[in-house]
Structure 1
């Protein structure tokens, strides 16, 4: 189980951010204000999600598609608009980029410009909304290039192409049985639960730590025929359990909502794999580097876990495009390191687990 230090009293998100800012006496407070604006957008989305069929969130899918070629649900569009409206006016941002927008969003001339960039997936896992599975919002905060701040020039795609290690802060909101806001400003990871009576996020998980070892892994096994040998080797060893080379039994999980997967791992450990495979050779992975892999990777590393492409640390990858896809492995450090090691070892033929054998229960 993850280690969570008991708080002497409950701090609101606002107080937590003030305490963190005291580590930097020269800080302007703009970052605090920006995070509070993001949290306000998340509260608004949480209310819409909670309405379910009583609201418009489950209206028929529109014919519109986003830059990823995916159909946009009404709630995807609503969530994106909420992020924009809640954050563009305050003078904290130089610009925004979203999974749902083709190009960077410029700050309207009517509003002052700030020194940060906001990158976000406004509603991760939205395909699960109609079956009442937890979904969430993911965000990442970067510094805008100094020349764009000084000159006020329009932002370009290149301004956002910063490695994950450059993130100033990252986090997500989870819309589940309770609404949570999980955040790192580079000093560990803290989790806040929305108190419906106060309308405030209250600190409930002050020092989240991912255990180094685990007995759980999460992967979409329907893609097993497309996996690269190191991934297949790892999963086969987990499935072999206590009688195999690992000498212990594993449980497998798969929610198909990355925010929910990440939250489970932050709370109790585990490893998540959405690796590069051969299903679509034109795509080096399924998940988006800027909107999903980098912010979740930042949180994992801050909580003592590890995030990787399977071959190299995720936070060291230099993005090449705004909507770049990538393979992602994250979670308990020792398991991620094992998967990385398998990718760097010479390929060997491993015995297949019965679940994936060519001739098993389903014989010709």
Structure 2
């Protein structure tokens, strides 16, 4: 596995054996500076902070996979995809965000970082010991790479092209299907696993394993992350068996233009505001759904209408995230029938879908108000 890393901020976040000198530095407040967390000018009472406590030691990737993923081929493809995410991390730290001078299949201008991330994914699949077919959201054609191997891998190499120039968090989404189903004619439920990487101040990746969803954090030093025994590992397991609660007070509303055509969606948005839900929406699918795993709650909605059709890709975006959310106890909706997005048959590589995803009771509310499911 790759061990090189240019990240500096995570050195603070992932110092496992002793607090950083930075964290020990005393905080000085001006006498005129309010120190209360709440009040007229303090932090909002609807703010949500992590409840994850620092551990004395962390398991590395191999330890978790040995315990939670007995299939050696599946362990291999997970490690290969994590290696690719590590390489994309390095590229994002050094590549400028500029127009590449070319466009993808949909006519969208490609950015330098999009192309780099996509090339890294293709190279990882071509060099794989277990991947048979690959398909990229940038060029949605299933291509056979290693005919005798097992898995079909679909990926969105760098979701968030409209916000990456702002230096906001972006991510990679990966769905993995077995040879027995392939992609066309399969559903999201046929996936053997899925991974979603978030590239922010640190790189973290959600992975579906046998008994739930686990988060892995990428190395904080050139040697990797230091474990309690003094050894180093490129990936540590930062959170285990993550759960998404049935209720939430965080909402991320996409495609709000559709509220002009869908009275139920407008009513739903009004409900969120009237009931003082907290808006957490960046316009990037990965950070806007990933927060459900860090806050253990939340709902993301992207309905469709004739004037404002949904544009999410079923195979590259909705299915990988759908598997993660449902494995963590959340719920998904296909945005029309109210059924799980994981049960929608993939009839075309570039198939689009509406989506609601997250805390189960809020997805049910979406179904009742927007899909008119009775």
Is the pair's TM-score, using the shorter chain for normalization, greater than 0.5? yes
Query: 1 CA distance for matches of 2:360 and 2:183?
Result: 31
Q: How far has the Cα of 1:63 moved from its partner?
A: 3.6
Is the contact between residue 258 and residue 303 of structure 2 (CA under 8 Å) also seen in structure 1?
no
Question: 2:301–2:356: 8 Å Cα contact kept in structure 1?
Answer: yes
Deviation by residue 1:43-90 (Cα, 9 ceiling, x = unmatched): 011111122xxx3x312x134221233211111111111011112223
Distance in structure 2 (CA, Å) of the matches to 1:95 and 1:220: 31
Of 47, 65, 78, the residue aligned with 2:103 is 65
Deviation at 1:213, TM superposition (A): 0.8
2:369 paired with 1:342: yes
Pairwise CA distance, 1:113: 3.0
Match of 2:15 in 1: none
Contact kept, 8 Å, 2:255 with 2:303, in 1: the verdict is: no
Moved more, 166-175 or 211-220: 211-220
2:267 is aligned to 233
Offset of 1:15 from its aligned partner? 2.0
Which residue is 1:36 aligned to? 79
Question: Which residue is equivalent to 2:40?
Answer: none
How much has 1:177 moved relative to structure 2? Answer: 0.7
The structural deviation recorded for 1:227 is 4.3
1:150 match: none
Question: RMSD across aligned C-alpha pairs, in angstroms?
Answer: 2.3
Matches for 1:1-364 after TM superposition, within 5 Å = 9-22=57-70, 27=71, 29-51=72-94, 55=95, 57-59=96-98, 61-107=99-145, 113-145=148-180, 159-197=183-221, 198-199=223-224, 200-220=234-254, 222-241=256-275, 249-268=276-295, 269-280=297-308, 283=309, 285-310=310-335, 311-343=338-370, 345=372
* Aligned twin of 2:32: none
Instruction: Give the 3 Å change call, closer, same or farther, for CA 102–346 of structure 1 in structure 2.
Output: closer
**Partner Cα distance (2:259, 2:265) in 1:** 11
- Structure 2: runs of 5+ lacking an equivalent: 1-47, 225-233
Question: TM-score normalized by structure 1?
Answer: 0.80
Aligned-residue offset at 1:4: 6.3
Aligned equivalents of 1:202, 1:239: Cα separation in 2: 38
Q: CA deviation at 1:344?
A: 5.2
Residues matched between the structures, number: 313
Tell me by how many angstroms 1:312 deviates: 1.6
The TM-score normalised by the length of structure 2 is 0.78
